[in-house]
Amino acid sequence: MTASVQREALSGVHPHERAAFPRHVAIIMDGNGRWAKERGLPRTEGHRQGVETLRRIVRHAAKLGISCLTLYSFSSENWTRPEAEVSFLMGLLQRFVRRDLAELVKANIKVRVIGSREGLSPSIASLLDEAEAATRGNSGMELVVAFNYGARDELTRAMRKIAADVAAGRLDPAKIDESVIASRLDTADLPDPDLIIRTSGEQRLSNFLLWQAAYAEFFFPRFNWPDFDEKAFDEALSVFAARDRRYGGLSQKADA
C-alpha cells in the first residue's frame, strides 16, 4: 500500500474500522547523537533537530487519524548521561512544552505522561502536570510521552500496587490475571501498541513497553531520528498494513 493510496483509504473512514491501520504507534526516537556526529556537530544539535522531527511527526500522525502515539522521550537510564547533556535535554523539554502546548490544545491532542515522577525536580514535575491538565478535555489523538520511563520500573511499581491491595484485603490473589496487571501499569486504559518504530537501525526495545509490546509489529529504519520524516512514517504504516497479525493463531489471509 503506497502512502497516497493509504491516505485515500483514510478518507471518511475511522481508523478503528480499518484492521490494517494501527490504532497505537510507539516510537523509540534513536540516533540524535549519531546524526550530529556524522555532521561534525555537537550532540546537543542532534537533540535540537530531533525535537523538530518530533513536532512534524506528531502533526502528521494526528492528521492521519492515529488514535495514540507514544514517544520514548527520556528513559530512566538516560540520567547516567553527562550532566550537561541531561541539563540540555531538560531545557529542550521545557521549551517544547512552552512553545507547543497551545498548539496541542488547539489541535485537540491529549497529552499523557508515563513513567515515574519520583525524584523529578519540582519545575519538571509541574511542567508535566501542566501539559496533562491543559489538554485533559481534548478528545483527539492521545500523545503519550514516556519520560523518566523504564518498563522494568513500571512493572515493579505495578507489582507493588498489587501486593499492597492483596495485603489490605482488597484483592484476592486468585483473581490476579493479565487484566489486573495491565490495570496497574502506567498505560492502563490505553490500547497496546500495534506498531513500534525504532530509528537508527538498532533492533531492540531498550526497556520500552515490555509488557505492552507482546504482539506489536516492529519497523527498524536505518536512518537516525532527525532524518525521520512524514514519508518514512507512511512507509512504516504501509509495512504494517502488509503484516499478517496472528496473535498466536492461524493466518487470517485467504491463501493461508
Q: Which of 216, 240, 237, 201 is nearest to 63 (CA)?
A: 237
121 assigned ligand-binding residue: no
- Domain carrying residue 117: 21-239
Q: Is residue 251 a part of any domain in this protein? A: no
Task: Give the span between the Cα atoms of 10 and 18, in whole angstroms.
Answer: 9
Phi, psi of 6 (to 5 degrees): -65, -40
Give the three-state DSSP class for 75: strand
250 is in an annotated binding site: no
Q: Are 143 and 110 in contact (CB under 8 A)?
A: yes
Angle between helices 83-106 and 43-64 (to 10 degrees): 20
| pLDDT at residue 17 in the model | 39
Catalytic residue among 30, 100, 153, 186: 30
176: left (phi over 0), alpha (psi -120 to 50) or beta: beta
How many degrees, rounded to 5, is the angle at CA 13 between CA 12 and CA 15? 140
Instruction: Report the 10 Å Cβ neighbour count for 56.
Output: 13
Q: In sequence order, what are the beta bridge partners of 144?
A: 70, 112
CA angle 205, 208, 209 (to 5 degrees): 115
Flag whether 189 is marked binding.
no
Number of folded domains in the chain? Answer: 1
In a domain, 98, yes or no: yes
Residue range 194-243, pLDDT digits in tens: 999 999 999 999 999 999 999 999 999 999 999 999 999 999 999 999 99
Angle at the Cα of 194 (from 193 to 197), degrees rounded to 5? 80
Instruction: Please check whether residue 15 lies inside any domain of the structure.
Output: no
For all residues of the chain together, what is the average pLDDT?
90
The pLDDT assigned to 252 comes to 59
Domain containing 128 — which CATH number?
3.40.1180.10
DSSP annotation string for 92-137: HHHHHHHHHHHHHHHTTPEEEEES--TT--HHHHHHHHHHHHHHTT
**206 annotated as a binding-site residue:** yes
Provide the residue count of the chain.
256
Does residue 11 sit within a domain?
Answer: no
**Is residue 192 included in any domain, yes or no?**
yes
Q: Is residue 2 part of a domain?
A: no
CB 148 within 8 A of CB 116: yes
The annotation status of 67 as a binding-site residue, yes or no, is: no
Q: Are 208 and 26 in contact (CB under 8 A)?
A: yes
According to the model, what pLDDT value does residue 154 have?
Answer: 98
* Nearest CA-CA partner of 48 in 253, 39, 156, 143: 39
Q: Which residues of the chain have pLDDT under 50?
A: 1-18, 256
Active site residue 165: no
Report yes or no on 222 lying in a domain: yes
Could you tell me the pTM of the whole model?
A: 0.88
- pLDDT the model gives residue 10: 42
Does 65 show up as a binding residue in the annotation? no
224 is catalytic: no
Q: Give residue 219's pLDDT.
A: 97
The answer for residues whose C-beta is within 8 angstroms of residue 240's C-beta and 6 or more apart is 20, 22, 194, 195, 217, 219
